[in-house]
Amino acid sequence: MKINQLRTAFAAVLFGLVLILGGQSAKAETKDVSGTARYDHAFQVLELVNQERAKVGAEPLEMDEELLSAAMLRAAETVVNFNHTRPNGERCFTASSKMSGENIAMGGNVLCGTPAQVMELWMHSSGHKANILNTGFQSIGVGCIVTSSGTYWVQCFGRGTTQSVTQPDNKEVTYQVALDTSSKTTLVGDTSGGIESTPTATPAPSTEEVPDTGNFHWSVGIFKHIFTVTWNKPGSIKGCQIQISNKKNFKQKQTFSPKQSQTKQVIRKYKGKKLKAGKDYFIRVRAYTVSNGKKVYGQWTRLRCLA
């Protein structure tokens, strides 16, 4: 069976859906992913889903315990590989035998940080909307993991009997994400806590002001193979520096230093050439403040983007 996969990029996020099963080979080892499991956001998405279904006369979906766990796990996996193929090479449906459909989304916390924002994006994509309004689905699991690189969302749709679940508290979690089929992605850390904020700063001399980047957020939009990086400037933040590379280690990079008046940078080319469709690029951003006439930078945070 040929696998049809829709990947849509739109309005400062990446997001996708899938409806059919398949499989492919894997890589190796594991990778830890830490963040905040936002169960409050998950249940708010459920409310918004059912509001949209009510508009077309579809029966409401119920949050299923197994699908909820699978969706949170899948959200952690999309941090490693933003795809309907899991990091170990298997299709997303292997996360739960109850899954019959999946929507995914990710972005910075400015334009994809709330349930309303991500639902608006999904509902403006015909494929994702079709999953949300599918009358053949009876259950759902919603995953939302907030990390220093952005917010990752997953909807896992199911059919048949639902094992209902009440809303858990938000938790700081660590998943050990499997990168090959010799192991499975597992939840290895689970403690109660608040929302994880962006890392504060790299070490700096005590005489310099270290930028408070806890409320600094940025996101990347992709349209017709053009990246648009947007950011905010809370508190003492004066601006940011942006780098793009086709290498994870950024050994080959192009640097942008926007003016302090800017909150947007459009990237049409890399190393003088137009961005290539279907190719992975890595974008990282760091904020800065100004102390004694010098720029003091915070820590780089990174996203992997598909042109």
3-state secondary structure of 66: helix
pLDDT for residue 192:
44
pLDDT for residue 125:
82
For 29-65, the DSSP string reads SEEEEEEEE-HHHHHHHHHHHHHHHHHTTPPPPEEBH
* 138 touches 251 (CB < 8 A): no
* pTM reported for the whole predicted model: 0.58
Q: What is the pLDDT along the chain (307 residues), one digit of tens a residue?
A: 333 333 333 333 455 555 543 344 434 588 999 999 999 999 999 999 999 999 999 999 999 999 999 999 999 999 998 888 899 989 898 999 999 989 998 876 556 788 998 898 888 888 888 899 999 999 999 999 999 888 999 999 998 889 999 999 999 999 999 999 888 999 987 644 332 322 222 222 323 344 556 567 778 888 878 888 888 887 778 899 999 999 888 888 999 999 999 999 999 999 999 998 888 888 888 888 887 788 888 878 877 777 6
Q: Are strands 139-147 and 62-63 parallel, antiparallel or unpaired?
A: parallel
